[in-house]
Structure 1
């Protein structure tokens, strides 16, 4: 297997040889089914997987160490990045089980001197202990909320708490000459922060100077933990449409992607995209006088619906997400329906790529006083502008914003023009925890620097792939924002330089052709989307295997294939797809 050909071996991380890879190879239709059914010929080879569904080896190792040292007989554990999150998991379990549940809080030591700040950071984890039989319940919370500990954080905590138990005692005895020299310099010279204070700089000027230092050094290869705060600030600026400030730019410029009223203080970072959705729902519940059901408008990604179902009063599911659904919602509202707290939707939806009529949704929300939460992951803010029609915008930064498929992340944006803004901001001021692990933030910042260039290329290539699929005789339907009836709503949101994104779903006339195509196409095959490489999956089988007949009622064909377009050369990608189509056609 050459380096240029995607691995077709079950369980291979995607990207290969990346210890924190987000995706994993399921190279055939049969392997995907085998994975869903728990067949050993597949599961025994799965050494990695999508992080919210698969417990990473470092997380598993940390759990075993914690259980061995602190656990009781018959207990299992699951680990979260804070005590507050662990409490939420405990309550979730207690509502579904009568067996004992307890929490242990553990912390790693802080850096002992300035030299250590590059590689040492104090961190706290919340460990939930429960009966072994309740592990499936705890795992539900992990998956749905997206608030589980990241694999990089687990790796760090494992090293600090268990692999380096003697570190604190030996730290001063084993200092290097470089550390000793650094200590002598610190004694002779004031610290950087002290220097700032002595020169009478304001607090804002101090922060700005530190940020500029980060920007000047950000193209280095070393990921320095002491720059995590600056990396997060750079991410927030990028998300809200600001250009990074460097020595070549005297003034920051706005890209007009988000609007002049948005500031980085309205952007909140989370460990995963699902955590941002989960916390958006928590905001809606938290600011409501009386929590009510939410509306799920359109067929969404599986865990979005699970969040709305399992946390709070429940959900009104309008799975088609079309004009008729919106007309019915309006009719119900005008007939006195008052049990609506918020409306959640994707723009466009995954996997059917429908675009909701956000203008009408916004008008109804204003008239009947409910919040609008829009997941823009598939569209992305370079292509569409959904903020004016939303109270909250959420996104998975794991996808095209990162591209490299080696880090998880999510964002939540409050619309400063929302009539609910003050309530939402007050809630987050009290409740928000920054749980985005420092090293993950550094990776994501580095990955996302060329986001705009990558997004543009993906848009262009996708149009050619769509043309190929639309005109192929084996294919009965192609789902893409520019092809559907809801294109008119997408075009209302499209930015001047925006495109229609990189996600394409399609259905074959015959199921056997879908399976043959998928088995023979030489692409990366596994969960996730928005990667820098083209990634394919049999979506319904992978995401809804236990409910295939149910999802078909909402227009999701059991044999639908989804492709997320990457950065390959267009002609090579078209040839790869065409070759697999030819093989499928030959098997009539």
Structure 2
């Protein structure tokens, strides 16, 4: 790979380079990844970016600090959400979980709503929109608990929404802070008494902030210039059309008898789609069932899917292997009379790329009456046709659908043939809110136009990379749908599209950790979290996602020496050369 194309190897740099709203971050060495997980200052202090549900974007941090300075009471912190209903869900979560702490905490949680004004003229409609946020104020000792809600549900505000709010109200908030401090000094008081607007927030009233700022700050002007320079149109008047196109593009992968744009929904993240799928299950079930029946997590999933099933509802049965024997055990459980609420699975799973027997799961669902939710992010809809075998498909559009690693988003598609369809639609009609920020929609629409073609290129590259790894004597195991166990590959092939492939994601396990470390540290590719990027992205997955529970996840086959690769669109020969150089370096040090 030419040196000019070598990705950044600087700790904390965004991936891609110089991308303000990047969804990945550079952790260029094994040691840096461990240091990040252990909270070492030499890593943490350099983090200028990160995966948005784990790392609070700098614009969101800045907006939070301004709001806290203006409206927080003593010892209060805040998190910002895009709607009042989401803020209420967060408040309910905090109140419930705070009572389970030792000692229990009866928390006072407040919600404040703010909005920017609508455009004042037709000319302003291309750059201004009435944007709304809902701020949850909580005692500072509940910060980590509130962060759980933010991380697990994916319902926090977009960094672009925070950027927009700052551009519209930063001066206003700064002026209010100065006024507040002057008032405190004149009153001889240093306590954080409430301004009139903040006092109204305790009654959950809506506070409309009138701002007129015709001169956007330099950062916004620069971002606009870059977008226009590279042919992207950020005209906010096109946001509704962009969302309509996205819904049609997403649903076009499904047979119209199973799904269309009227049964596809956009969310600001893949986890928000998963969380709201679980909310659907809980709300359309009989109250006694929702309160008593557990769900099933089938296969080792991405960590927050399991967290959602554990922390909302009656709990979860975890079948970490997700294989045929696990399905045998589940069937015996059901045959014995136990009922379950739902089954969630990935197709295939991340990071072990195991494919569940979705056809048999569908048969069990029909027989025993539970809802099936499938996350097809890894396989993606261009490769596999999952919807006929489940009730709901969720997907992280942040990944291959976008590809550019600069926007968070997710989708939820409902099977029109599902026996739960009418109940799901009735619930969605009353409950669904479009809180996918308009600017993010415009980015995603542009990014996803060539989704199908990019997927084919990645599939082809991945198959070549697999052949390279097969020939390495350093590697103990390879996880990829086409080389998985015979049963797992068969389950994948039964729903693989005729023109589909096996995806871009793979995991390799080295026999020796020293070889894994040498390979990872040497390979000149982007290194950080996420997957489905147009460029190859590598991470030591077990270390990054499960550092505090390595022994536990090893029981399910997630080895500490596992390196996960999301294969991109580089020229095949150059990509293979880069990977072989890293393998050769590991082999050389292995033989010393």
Per the TM superposition, whether the score is higher than 0.5 is yes
Residue number in structure 1 paired with 2:129: 121
CA distance in 1, matches of 2:422, 2:448: 30
The counterpart of 1:574, out of the listed 568, 573, 576, is 576
1:202-225 CA-partner distances (Å, limit 9, x unpaired): xxxxxxxxxxxxxxx9x9632111
CA distance in 2, matches of 1:225, 1:419: 39
Residue number in structure 1 paired with 2:234: 223
Q: Evaluate the alpha carbon distance shift between residue 56 and residue 3 of structure 1 in structure 2; reply closer, same or farther with a 3 A threshold.
A: farther
CA distance in 2, matches of 1:78, 1:560: 35
Q: Establish whether residue 275 from structure 1 lines up as the match of residue 265 from structure 2.
A: no
On the 8 A contact 2:117/2:211 being kept in 1, the answer is no
The counterpart of 2:152, out of the listed 121, 144, 150, is 144
CA distance in 2, matches of 1:414, 1:158: 36
Shift of 1:274: 0.4
Shift of 1:161: 2.1
Residue number in structure 2 paired with 1:7: 8
CA distance in 1, matches of 2:309, 2:338: 18
On the 8 A contact 1:507/1:559 being kept in 2, the answer is yes
Describe the SS at the equivalent of 2:443.
helix
Q: Evaluate the alpha carbon distance shift between residue 103 and residue 458 of structure 1 in structure 2; reply closer, same or farther with a 3 A threshold.
A: same
Structure 2 counterparts to residues 89-100 of structure 1, below 5 A: 89-97=90-98, 98-100=106-108
Show structure 2 runs of 5+ residues with no match. 99-105, 176-208, 216-227
CA distance in 1, matches of 2:211, 2:128: 15
CA distance in 1, matches of 2:169, 2:441: 22
Q: TM-score, normalised by structure 2?
A: 0.87
CA distance in 1, matches of 2:167, 2:484: 51
Residue number in structure 2 paired with 1:499: 501
The counterpart of 1:553, out of the listed 535, 555, 563, is 555
CA distance in 2, matches of 1:92, 1:146: 14
Shift of 1:102: 1.0
Structure 2 counterparts to residues 235-246 of structure 1, below 5 A: 235-241=246-252
1:452-481 CA-partner distances (Å, limit 9, x unpaired): 110000000100000111121110110000
On the 8 A contact 2:400/2:532 being kept in 1, the answer is yes
1:194-247 CA-partner distances (Å, limit 9, x unpaired): xxxxxxxxxxxxxxxxxxxxxxx9x96321111111100100111011xxxxxx
Describe the SS at the equivalent of 2:382.
coil
Describe the SS at the equivalent of 2:356.
coil
Structure 2 counterparts to residues 31-46 of structure 1, below 5 A: 31-46=32-47
Show structure 1 runs of 5+ residues with no match. 175-216, 242-255
CA distance in 1, matches of 2:240, 2:346: 30
Residue number in structure 1 paired with 2:517: 515
On the 8 A contact 2:511/2:561 being kept in 1, the answer is no
CA distance in 1, matches of 2:139, 2:386: 44
Describe the SS at the equivalent of 2:481.
coil
Shift of 1:163: 3.2
CA distance in 2, matches of 1:32, 1:168: 44
Q: Establish whether residue 266 from structure 1 lines up as the match of residue 274 from structure 2.
A: no
Describe the SS at the equivalent of 2:240.
helix
1:544-577 CA-partner distances (Å, limit 9, x unpaired): 0110000000011011000000010000000000
Residue number in structure 2 paired with 1:248: none
CA distance in 2, matches of 1:381, 1:438: 24
Q: Evaluate the alpha carbon distance shift between residue 169 and residue 9 of structure 1 in structure 2; reply closer, same or farther with a 3 A threshold.
A: closer
On the 8 A contact 1:355/1:490 being kept in 2, the answer is yes
1:10-49 CA-partner distances (Å, limit 9, x unpaired): 0010000010001000000000000000000000100110
Structure 2 counterparts to residues 12-27 of structure 1, below 5 A: 12-27=13-28
CA distance in 2, matches of 1:451, 1:50: 22
On the 8 A contact 1:258/1:385 being kept in 2, the answer is no
Residue number in structure 2 paired with 1:232: 243
Aligned residues: 530
1:99-127 CA-partner distances (Å, limit 9, x unpaired): 32111111111112222111111121110
Structure 2 counterparts to residues 387-402 of structure 1, below 5 A: 387-402=387-402
Structure 2 counterparts to residues 142-541 of structure 1, below 5 A: 142-163=150-171, 221-241=232-252, 257-289=254-286, 290-291=289-290, 292-338=293-339, 340-485=340-485, 486-541=488-543
Q: Which moved more, 1:495-504 or 1:111-120?
A: 111-120
On the 8 A contact 1:6/1:523 being kept in 2, the answer is yes
Shift of 1:260: 3.9
CA distance in 2, matches of 1:34, 1:354: 30
